[in-house]
Amino acid sequence: MVSFASSSLPTEIELEEGKPLQQYNRSRSLKLVIHGWNSDRNQIAIVPVRNAYLVQDRHNLLMADWSAVSGLSYGAARELTRPIGERIGSILAGFLHTMDIPVGRVHVVGHSLGAHIAGHVGRRFGGTLARLTLLDLAGVLFSRLSVDAYNSGDAQFVDAIHTDGSVLGETIPRAHVDFYPNGGTGSQPGCELLDTLTLHACSHYRSTGFYAESILLPGNFLAQQCKVDRAVLPLVTAACTVAKNTAAESVPMGEFVSESARGTYYLETSNFPPYGLGNATFRRRGSPVAR
């Protein structure tokens, strides 16, 4: 199911095939948000992103809900990422056709398994969608050689945020630009005192928290390019040191990332909201990645 959400509507409106949506604002671009495994569009991990877009009130917003099968075992759900992505892509294609919306106005945001689903949505359009944003994409049962994992060819611009790499998420840099807040692996600040399972869920969800904050507080997450070669980054994250150390040379992570950015980027965050440190990111010149 794909539904339309707006701050001016009391409830979301489910898209109907071939039926125009009167509430659609043609002067605005389109965002499509996709939740992850074992959840739905109202789950705590993805709600911050939806709410931030609604508060910002600058875009048309669609919410995809694949909860009919997202509650299956992880392995079963992982194998369904391609057909689910193709189905959501077909619904989106029909909507764009009905409403005469250019694909270059579409930005898809996915979390966890939903990030890989987002990649398949992009492939449905032959990589012509404007942008894909992948929030701590699922790493379990995916490898560097997985042909059904997302890649930078799935949209004109692809950005990824890694917050629980090597456990629930992955560290592999597949996007045009990959961000590794606090190193992107282990525990995110503020999650350390939780039990192991909750710790990694907390870190996994931080990606959506960071992204939601970036929508409403542009410039809060300034990142520095990492010196480590992209090919070996997953193996030596702890050895990564920043290459640039001034705000003028930084790239904002999140909603307002520069689409000319390429490579891998590092930044530090606070352990509580607001997570972004802004210019304080550059307080330690050449500091190693925090673990």
- The total of structural domains in the chain comes to 1
When pLDDT is cut at 50, 70 and 90, the band that residue 228 belongs to is low
Average of per-residue pLDDT values in the chain: 86
Residue 222 has pLDDT above 50, yes or no: yes
202 belongs to a structural domain? yes
289 belongs to a structural domain? no
Q: How far apart are CA 82 and CA 1, in angstroms?
A: 16
pLDDT at res. 17: 83
pLDDT at res. 85: 96
255 belongs to a structural domain? yes
Cβ atoms of residues 188 and 168 within 8 Å: no
For the chain, give the percent of residues with pLDDT over 90: 63
Residue 56 has pLDDT above 90, yes or no: yes
287 belongs to a structural domain? no
Q: Whole domain around residue 137: which residue ranges?
A: 2-281
Range among 72-76, 140-144, 226-230, 235-239 rated most confident: 72-76
Q: What does the pLDDT look like over 81-118, one tens digit per residue?
A: 999 999 999 999 999 999 999 999 999 999 999 999 99
Domain containing residue 254: CATH number: 3.40.50.1820
55 belongs to a structural domain? yes
Q: What is the mean pLDDT of residues 195-207?
A: 82
288 belongs to a structural domain? no
Lowest mean pLDDT among 26-30, 127-131, 198-202: 198-202
> Which pTM value belongs to this model?
0.90
